[in-house]
Amino acid sequence: MLNPQYLTSTDAGFWAQLKKLLAWDAQAEDEILNTVRDMLRAVSKSGDAAVLEYTNRFDRRDVQDIAELEIPPARLQQALDNLPAEQRQALELSAQRVRAYHQHQKQESWRYTEADGTVLGQQITPLDKVGLYVPGGKAAYPSSVLMNAIPAKVAGVAEIIMVVPAPDSHLNELVLAAAAIAEVDKVFTIGGAQAVAALAYGTETVPQVDKIVGPGNIFVATAKSMVFGTVGIDMIAGPSEILVICDGKTDPDWIAMDLFSQAEHDELAQSILISPDAAFLEQVKTSMNRLLENMPRAEIIKTAINDRGALIHVKDWDEAAEVCNHIAPEHLELSIADPEALLPKIRHAGAIFMGRYTAEALGDYCAGPNHVLPTSRSARFSSPLGVYDFQKRSSLIYCSADGASELGKTASVLAHGEGLTAHARSAEYRIKE
């Protein structure tokens, strides 16, 4: 039986209860930290040899040459060509919508000229190489390929290197087909911390990249955190989350299934429903218990809902917004009659799904916006993955003789104030007599 926590915002201990509900420890255990650290060192030192050794050991393979781990472009195209028509059409439509949305995010260089001829501006350039980690084996995440690779391509990234584990030499055709559609440049069948290390440090075969993106297990997440600084990373993602704010007028079965849509990811996923209608909260709970028995991942859903799920009764919409902003959810559904009215009060959320008909699942696959979103309350300071994550900004400064003279006077004063004489004199040399 499903029995999510029931919280009432007017209770004296509400905020303490909410804090406890949201708590999640992202720290890896010492054993994992030590294992990953050793793997990173080995790949950094031994390159291809270490990657081969770890791949054969952890993925139960018998590969003698790392060249065997690279999938040629023709094999990716073959996977796409052999897909059932319905699957290919769905992938291509999703890619088209993701690409169209992200085209709007592309930033352009700009500059302006001051009266004395000084020019200031910003130059936008794409990253050179990006590494994309894709979970593999029995799991199939073609949507992850599209969501990570397409914004990089829109940004103008010259080369995308994808890594995907192939345990027991199993390849997922949907993932390979998605790589073809997204125009991934190279694909290697390696995974785990060794794949992150290969991308971060480079080997004789695997190119070193500038940034690593994409989801993975605790070993992958730990490795990404450890190589940050050598390369950029997208984020360290926590468990999946959904928060639904409902006025009690949406079909309870719809809301129940929306909550299930994230709970089925894993046992640590979090599904929360907020409503000022106490009777509706009970209706949704009844729906969840009735619908659970027909869910293939029922045990995972049950654990997630009972351990980290919640039904929260609030007194009004202002309070609903306040609780929402504190939670700062990855996914937020505003399943209410007038979502536009509540929207200005929402400050923290990764993606906002507006109206009764906008299921979060649409955003996971084909709506267009990116499904790589901040989790674990990091929507307070982070944004969805986008084109801007694959572009760099360089400041442009060009001083005319007059501009250098005038700015030099100010720089001289401030440099002397900081005790940096060479700074001051460097500026003073350009001051006109």
Q: Say if residues 176 and 71 touch (Cβ distance below 8 Å).
A: yes
For residue 330, indicate whether it is catalytic: yes
C-alpha–C-alpha distance, residues 332 and 286, integer Å: 22
Give buried/exposed letters for 350-368 (b at 16+ CB in 10 A, else e): bbbbbebebbbbebbbbbe
Burial (Cβ within 10 Å: 0-12, 13-18, ≥19) of residue 313:
buried
For residue 331, indicate whether it is catalytic: yes
Among 331, 333, 348, 360, which one carries the catalytic annotation?
A: 331
Residue 351 bridge partners (DSSP): 331
Among 241, 313, 330, 348, which one carries the catalytic annotation?
A: 330
Which structure tokens are listed for 193? 């911390």
C-alpha–C-alpha distance, residues 152 and 105, integer Å: 11
C-alpha–C-alpha distance, residues 312 and 326, integer Å: 13
Q: Is 376 in a helix, a strand, or coil?
A: coil
C-alpha–C-alpha distance, residues 375 and 88, integer Å: 30
Q: Rounded to 5 degrees, what are φ and ψ at 245?
A: -105, 120
Q: Rounded to 5 degrees, what are φ and ψ at 404?
A: -65, -35
User: Where in the sequence numbering do the catalytic residues fall?
Assistant: 330-331
